[in-house]
Amino acid sequence: MLSVLADRTYRHLFLAQIVALLGTGLATIALGLLAYDLSGERAGLVLGTIFTIKMVAYVGIAPIAGAFAYRWPRRTMLVSLDLVRAAVALCLPFVTEVWQAYILIFVLQSASAAFTPTFQATIPDILPEEDRYTRALSLSRLAYDLENIISPMLAAILLTFVSYHALFFGTVIGFVGSAFLVLSVLLPSPQPTAHRGIYDRTTRGMRIYLATPRLRGLLSLNLAAAAAGAMVLVNTVVLVRADLGLGDAQVAVALGAFGGGSMLAALLLPRLLETRPDRPVMIGGAGMLIASLLALSLMTLMYDALWIPLLVGWFVIGIGYSAVLTPSGRLLKRSAHAEDRPAVYAAQFALSHACWLTTYPLAGWLITVSGPTVAFAALALLAGIGMISGIALWPEESSDSLKHSHNDLRSDHPHVLDGRTHSHPIIIDDYHPHWPSLREADNSAR
């Protein structure tokens, strides 16, 4: 897996991702403490609003940013967005009112909503080979998991010497470090594309995404991952502290079990995906999520002491979660031409976070109103809907060549020089605005 780090450009981008993630992790912890300082017992409400603002920015800004990413050199765009994020983080220690925090968080997360899809769309251009790109995706998943472990430890060490305001300066250092690392390499620029109107450009990524069966399946599987992930991220503290009566250390251990399962899957997936298609691996991961949630629901109904089962369940959910999410970059790369990738990655970023925007509040509301048994069961049902929809929307043959006809193109058009009826893997573009149906393929074959 580490062999891809021999590529200097990717190595610098991977390091940029790590330092930016560490900075973001420190900011998340500092924001919780800032919310408590500003609002006391209402800190939960303030934090909930902050996370909602984050998701709204992701869902609303990412498609717009992806639509216009082609206008600027990628390195200039990424560095500029890192500096915007650093400038906002520099302002956060001086916040004295809740509304100031809301505005700054919206600006910060809007910059992240533009940065992340552009960054993700750059990697397949640097590592075009499927096996190397798969290893890069697994490394990226590992970076996210390690950040969940390292950031709290680093924050705990720093807070023994400085106030939480200093954590925001660590965030600034992370974003500035990311900018310097991106600046230290040359990145492929977006390819020139045909002129398109604002509406066409803004909606193109979403239209390609929703017209591609494998990506519609990916969105459904994202819902399954978000249902299980929200149960872990929102309710671990409730299950450990309130239901089991354990302490903060056990909360960290439980989250570490989830991260450990995710890391294990990320380490094993590159070799597994060399011999197995993405679809059964991702559907199998979703099945693990559903089975774990249902098992924990039954256990909460029958037993009081759930500490060990909870750890095992969180570990298995971590494996399934990573199995669903890690291969997604391969599907996106396979489903768009290079010039459309930023827009398609932005669509994935927005739509996947729309799933989280639904499951985050749902997980918290269910456990508060109905208890853990119902919360586990309801989120298992939601994950099951996601998995079944993924199976239905993503036919096994969607990656294969499909026979289809181009009666709308001139006979001398370059795309039909070998005949109006031909066969090749389909990518939604100007020549293929929709996915050929089985009926179209049968008619073409006659």
Q: How many residues does the chain have?
A: 446
What is the reported pLDDT for 289?
97
d(CA 22, CA 81): 17
d(CA 317, CA 296): 11
Q: What is the CA radius of gyration of the chain?
A: 23
Helix (H) or strand (E) holding 311: helix 307-325
What is the reported pLDDT for 181?
94
Do the Cβ atoms of 262 and 315 come closer than 8 Å? no
Q: Which two tokens stand for residue 358?
A: 């639904």
- Global confidence as pTM: 0.79
SS3 state of residue 73? coil
d(CA 300, CA 282): 27
| Mean pLDDT, contiguous 10-residue spans, the chain (446 residues) | 80 89 80 74 65 80 69 84 93 88 89 83 82 80 68 72 85 93 82 55 80 93 94 82 76 80 87 89 96 94 83 95 90 82 81 87 85 94 97 77 70 67 74 67 49
Residue with tokens 């230290």: 184
Cα 429 from chain centroid (whole Å): 24
Out of 2.40.220.10, 3.40.30.10, 3.10.310.40, 1.20.1250.20, the CATH code matching 7-190 is: 1.20.1250.20
What is the reported pLDDT for 429?
72
What is the reported pLDDT for 69?
61
Number of Cβ within 10 Å of residue 97's Cβ equals: 9
The residue extents of the domains of the chain are 7-190, 212-394
Q: Where are the beta strands (DSSP E) in 280-414?
A: 401-405
Residue type, 351: L
Class of the 212-394 domain? mainly alpha
- Let me know the angle formed at the C-alpha of 346 by 208 and 48, rounded to the nearest 5 degrees: 130
How many CA atoms within 13 Å lie on the side-chain side of 415?
A: 15
Q: Which two tokens stand for residue 248?
A: 């903060």
What is the reported pLDDT for 445?
47
The reply to whether 7-190 and 212-394 are identical in fold is yes
d(CA 262, CA 284): 14
